[in-house]
Amino acid sequence: MKFGVVTFPGSNCDQDMIYVLRNIMGCETVELWHKDTDLQGVDFVVLPGGFSYGDYLRSGAIARFSPIMDAVIEHANKGGYVLGICNGFQVLTESHLLPGALLHNDSHKFICKNVYLKPESTNSLVTRGLDSNKAYQIPIAHGEGNYYADEDTIAKLNANDQILFRYCDADGNINAEANPNGSVENIAGITNENRNVFGMMPHPERAADENLGNLDGKAMFESILDMVKA
């Protein structure tokens, strides 16, 4: 599988993602610039974390209009895989490739710390290989990670098994105390109806190198590759 990682002005996790995909997972990975219009034949596009265009207007609102996004949207609409992490998740909601929006954290503070995630659905490339009974420790770093959607949309996400992750405590309990940003129903990641577009606020690429003492994020990349090979 060939991956492409997009760099927007203000991206700061693009090189982390490239390193994990290329050096740790051993995948062919190309670097895509926001002004590109050609995805160079990649199978899987990654929109990384950061502060695209300085997070002016709303996070992801300007990046959604970068030239490359026309190609990313076309790729997704044809069934190609797209993963948005943190700011990338925000870009996906602004592009309407995923429902809902990311609001300011309910604390109105930027939060950078380790949190725990529990896989909610196992019916996706990102989660199929994960243990649904395990709490995965993954870092977050965001000021606008509060996932919101109206009641009908939330009901549809639940009914269609489109919720990938919920914030939980170290024992896997999903409760208000484990919710770092106020996200509705502790939602930390979702997929689209066709299950080829994925968005999540936590950063698995920051928990994929043994030198960091945490490989919980690597399990998500392994799940993607194992499912493709299968």
Amino acid (1-letter code) at residue 11: S
Annotated active-site residue 108? The verdict is: no
Query: Environment class of residue 25 by beta-carbon count within 10 Å: exposed (0-12), middle (13-18) or buried (19+)?
Result: middle
- Residue 147's pLDDT band, with cuts at 50, 70 and 90, is very high
Q: What is the pLDDT of residues 185-213, one digit of tens each?
A: 999 999 999 999 999 999 999 999 999 99
**Parallel, antiparallel or unpaired: strands 163-168 and 187-191:** antiparallel
The predicted model gives 11-30 an average pLDDT of 97
- Residue 227's pLDDT band, with cuts at 50, 70 and 90, is confident
What's the mean pLDDT when you consider all of the chain? 96
Q: What is the pLDDT of residues 34-77, one digit of tens each?
A: 999 999 999 999 999 999 998 888 899 999 999 999 999 999 99
Q: What is the pLDDT of residues 87-143, one digit of tens each?
A: 999 999 999 999 999 999 999 999 999 999 999 999 999 999 999 999 999 999 999
CA nearest neighbour of 181 among 5, 59, 18: 59
Annotated active-site residue 86? The verdict is: yes
Evaluated on CA atoms 201, 205, 209, 212, the torsion sign reads negative
**What pLDDT sits at residue 6?**
98
Q: Which residues pair with 163 in a beta bridge?
A: 190
- Residue 145's pLDDT band, with cuts at 50, 70 and 90, is very high
Domains of the chain, CATH where assigned: 2-229 (3.40.50.880)
H or E stretch including 118? Answer: strand 111-119
Pick the catalytic residue from 75, 86, 94, 120: 86
Q: What is the pTM of this model?
A: 0.96
Q: What is the pLDDT of residues 154-170, one digit of tens each?
A: 999 999 999 999 999 99
**What pLDDT sits at residue 58?**
83
First-to-last C-alpha distance (Å) of the chain: 12
- Residue 229 pLDDT more than 70? no
Query: Environment class of residue 57 by beta-carbon count within 10 Å: exposed (0-12), middle (13-18) or buried (19+)?
Result: exposed
Residue 23 CB partners (closer than 8 Å, separation 6+): none
Pick the catalytic residue from 34, 75, 142, 203: 203
- Residue 172 pLDDT more than 90? yes
CA dist list (Å): 211 to 64, 214, 215: 34, 8, 9
- Residue 24 pLDDT more than 70? yes
Annotated active-site residue 185? The verdict is: no
